Amino acid sequence: MGLAARLCLSAGVAGLALCVVNQLTAPQLSPALERAGVLASFLAVGLMLVSILWTRAVPVAPERVDLEGEQGLRLAGDLPEPLRQELAWGSQMLLTATPAATVLLHWQGRTLLERGVLGVGGFAPGAICQRAWSTGKAIGLVNLKLYPGREEFQGLPSGIPAVIVQPIGDQGVLLLAGWSPRCFSRSDETWLEGWSLKLRSALQELNGPVVSPPSEPAGE
C-alpha cells in the first residue's frame, strides 16, 4: 500500500474512532447529534474504501527476476550482411524499448539469433510453437511457472518468468523472454508482430527466389 493510500486509511480510521468517542461521551443524544454521527461515520468508511480501491488501482509491479547467464549476442555466421544488420538493430531495440531479457529467432530448424541474457542453447520448438504456427497468432505466457509445457523453453536462460511466442509463417518463431511475470504490454506485442512481418520476407530470401516450373507446350 502506497503512502497516499495509507494516509487515507489512517484518516478514515481516526475519523470513525473520534465519531464513536464523541457519541459515547455526549451528555445527551439529540436527533441533530445522531444525524451528525451517522454522516461522519459514512465519511470515515468512505475514506477507508477509497484507500482500498486506490491500492487495487495502482498494484505493486512484479519484481524483476535475477536470471543466470551472461549478456551477449549469438548470430549465425553465414547470414548475408543486410540481414545481420537488421537482426542486430531489431534485437537491440526490443531489449531497450521493452522489458525483454532475451530475444531468440529460430528459423527452419536453426537458431539464427540469440541476444540478451544467453541460455544454454539448443532450443527446439515444441507443442506451444506448433500451436502458434497453426493459429498464426502470438501466444503470451505471462507466468511460465503455470504452464506444464515450459520444458520447451529450456534453451532460454533458466528461470525465465514470461515469454511471447511470435510465429514467422510456418517455418520460424521469434521468442521474447521478459524479466518478470506479466511484464509485456499490448504495445510490446504489436511491436514484436510488426518486426516479425518485416523479417519474414528477408528470411524467405535465404532459400533463394522461387522458380516456377516450365509450362508444357500446348498440344498441336
What is the residue extent of each domain of the chain?
3-57, 71-207
Q: Residue 1's pLDDT band (boundaries 50, 70, 90)?
A: low
CB atoms within 10 A of CB 75: 16
Closest of 173, 104, 161 to residue 132, by C-alpha: 173
Region 156-177 average pLDDT: 92
Find the farthest-apart pair of alpha carbons in the chain and give their distance in angstroms, rounded: 120
Contacts of residue 86, defined as CB under 8 A and 6 or more positions apart, other chains included, come to 198, 199, 202
pLDDT score recorded for residue 212? 38
pLDDT digits (tens, 9 = 90+) for 3-47: 777 788 888 888 888 888 887 887 777 888 778 888 888 888 888
Tell me the CB-side half-sphere exposure of residue 76, using CA atoms within 13 A.
Answer: 17
Tell me the CB-side half-sphere exposure of residue 169, using CA atoms within 13 A: 13
**pLDDT for position 125:** 93
**pLDDT reading at 149 higher than 90:** no
Mean pLDDT of the chain: 84
pLDDT of residue 40: 82
Domain 71-207, CATH number (from 1.10.1200.10, 3.40.50.720, 1.20.200.10, 3.30.450.40): 3.30.450.40
Question: pLDDT, tens digit, for every residue of 82-97?
Answer: 999 999 999 999 999 9
Residue 62: is its pLDDT beyond 70? no
Q: Which residues of 10-30 are buried (b: 16+ CB within 10 A; e: fewer)?
A: ebbeebbeebeeebeeeeeee
- The number of beta carbons lying within 10 Å of the beta carbon of residue 43 is 14
Portion of the chain with pLDDT greater than 90, in percent: 43
Average pLDDT over residues 198-219: 61
pLDDT at 215: 42
User: How confident is the model at residue 111, as a pLDDT?
Assistant: 94
| 62 and 183 Cβ atoms separated by less than 8 Å | yes
3-state secondary structure the chain: CCHHHHHHHHHHHHHHHHHHHHHHHCCCCCHHHHHHHHHHHHHHHHHHHHHHHHHHHCCCCCCCCCCCCCEEEEECCCCCHHHHHHHHHHHHHHHHHCCEEEEEEEECCEEEEEEEECCCCCCCCCHHHHHHHHHCCCEEECCHHHCHHHHHHCCCCCCCCEEEEEEECCCEEEEEEECCCCCCCHHHHHHHHHHHHHHHHHHHHHHCCCCCCCCCCCCC
Best CA proximity match to 111, nearest among 100, 125, 101, 99: 125
Q: Tens digits of per-residue pLDDT, 111-141?
A: 999 999 998 888 999 999 999 999 999 999 9
Identify the band that residue 209 occupies on the pLDDT scale cut at 50, 70 and 90.
very low
pTM above 0.85, yes or no: no
